[in-house]
Amino acid sequence: MKNFKIQIRIILQIILFIILVQNTAYSQFQKVNSNNLDIYYRIYGQGTPILIIGGGPGDVSGRYISLCELLSTKYQCILVDQRGTGKSAPEVFDSTTISVSLTLEDFEAIRNELGIEQWSVLGFSYGGYLASLYANFYPSSVSSLVLLNSMGLNTNVFHYFLDNINSKLQASDLAIVEFWSDSARYSQDPKHAIVEIIRARMAGYFYDRKKSLIVSQTMKDSDFDFNVGRWIWKDVMARNLDLAEMESNFEKHVIVIQGRQDPLGESVAQSLSDYYKNSELVFIEKCGHYSWIEQPDEILIAISNFFASNFKN
C-alpha cells in the first residue's frame, strides 16, 4: 500500500511537471518572417484561437500578458509583438517598415504559420481599431471580433479622450504631469518623460484609483516605442483609414465591451455596435479603460458567454 501511494505521488509529480513544461513552452517567443522582418509572438493556453492585439501604437506585448493569463484558462491566446515593438523592431523606422498594411500582413503571416484557417480577434484600445481594420481588409481570416475598450472607428476620440482623463486626476497627479512636461526636463530624455506623464495620468483611466497602481507601478520605459505611433498615424491620415466612411463588410459575430466609466465615453462603444450588423454591446459597471484589470471576472464572463452563444458545437 505504501509503495502504491509513492507511485501515485510520483505520477502526479510527473503530470504536474509536464503541464508546467507545456505552459512554459507555449509562452516562449516564436517568430515568423513577414516582409523581411521577424515578427515575434507567444501562445498561451489551448482551445479556440484568439489573436490578441494590444494598444498603443507602440506598446510591447508584455503589457497584455495578464489579459492572456485571464483568457487562457478557456482559450488559446496568440499575443504578438506588433511590428516596431519589442522583439519585432526593424533596424530603421520609416514608412517602408512601419504601416497599417504591413502590420495586418504580419497577422496573416502568423495565422498561416500556425495553420489556422480563421481565428477570433480581440483588440484593446488602439488595438480595437486595428482589429476592425483587419476584419475589414481580411474578413475571411476572422471568425469573430472582440472589441475591448476599443478607440472606435477613427481617431475622433482623441478630441476629448485626454480631457476626460485629466478631469479625473488629483492636483498631485497634475503636478507630476507638469513636472515632466517642462521643456528642459523633457528634452533631456523625451521617452522617459512621456512614460512618467502616462504613469501620472494612469489613475484617470480607471474607475477605482487604487487599481490603477497595478499598471502605473509596473510600467517601464522599455514597455513602449513611441516611434511606431508616428508612422502609424501618418499612414492612417494619408490613407484616410476612417471606418465610419467605409461600409462594413464584416457580417460575423462582434462583441463590443467597454467599462461604463471608460474615458472613451459611451458613444464610442455605441457607434461600434451600430456599425456592425451582427453585434452585441456590453457595458461593465464600475470599470474604466483597463477593463480586464479592473473587473476581470466580468470580462471573462462576457467573453465566455459570447463564444458559448455564437459558436455552439
- Phi, psi of 73, deg, nearest 5: -70, -20
- The packing angle between helices 100-114 and 227-239, to 10°, is 100
Please give the backbone phi and psi of residue 225, each rounded to the nearest 5 degrees, phi first.
Answer: -135, 100
Q: How confident is the model at residue 310 (pLDDT cuts 50, 70, 90)?
A: confident
Q: Provide the pLDDT for residue 286.
A: 98
Q: Which amino acid is at 254?
A: V
Least Cα distance to 79 among 66, 90, 69, 68 occurs for 68
User: Between the CA of residue 61 and those of 77, 85, 119, 189, 254, what are the distances in Å?
Assistant: 12, 8, 19, 23, 23
pLDDT of 219 > 50? The answer is yes
Q: Between 167 and 16, whose confidence is greater?
A: 167
Give the pLDDT confidence of 168-191 residue by residue, as tens digits. 999 999 999 999 999 999 999 999
Asked if pLDDT for residue 145 goes beyond 90, the answer is yes
What are the tens digits of pLDDT across the range 43-70? 999 999 999 999 999 999 999 999 999 9
- Span 200-208, average pLDDT: 98
The candidate with the shortest Cα–Cα distance to 269, out of 297, 251, 291, 249, is: 291
Q: What are phi and psi of 119, to 5 degrees?
A: -135, 155
- Can you give the pTM of this predicted structure? 0.90
Chain centre distance of CA 4? 48
pLDDT by residue (tens digit) across 250-283?
999 999 999 999 999 999 999 999 999 999 999 9
Q: Is the pLDDT of residue 244 over 50?
A: yes
Would the pLDDT of 16 be above 70? no
Specify whether the backbone of 75 is left (phi greater than 0), alpha (psi in -120 to 50) or beta: beta
What CA–CA distance (Å, rounded) separates 235 from 77? Answer: 28
Q: Name the DSSP class of 304.
A: H
Residue 312: per-residue pLDDT:
65
pLDDT confidence bin for 27, thresholds 50/70/90:
confident
Instruction: Write the CA distances from 286 to 32, 68, 270, 297, integer angstroms.
Output: 40, 22, 18, 13
**Residue 238's pLDDT band (cuts 50, 70, 90):** very high
- Residue 311 confidence (pLDDT): 79
CB 190 within 8 A of CB 219: no
**How many whole angstroms separate alpha carbon 299 and alpha carbon 305?**
10
> Taken in order 34, 66, 266, 213, is the CA torsion positive or negative?
negative
What sign for the dihedral angle of Cα 180, 183, 185, 186?
Answer: positive
**Res 313: pLDDT:** 52
CA angle 288, 293, 297 (to 5 degrees): 100
Checking if the pLDDT of 231 tops 50, the result is yes
Which helix (H) or strand (E) element contains residue 137? helix 126-137
What pLDDT, on a 0 to 100 scale, did the predictor assign at position 308? 95
Cell numbers 464584416 correspond to 250
What pLDDT, on a 0 to 100 scale, did the predictor assign at position 65?
97
Please report the pLDDT score of residue 191 as a whole number.
97
**What percent of the chain stands above pLDDT 70?**
91
Please provide residue 123's backbone torsions phi and psi, each rounded to the nearest 5 degrees. -120, 135
Mean pLDDT of the chain: 92
Q: What is the set of domains in the chain, with CATH numbers? A: 29-307 (3.40.50.1820)
**What's the CA gap between 134 and 51, in Å, rounded?**
11
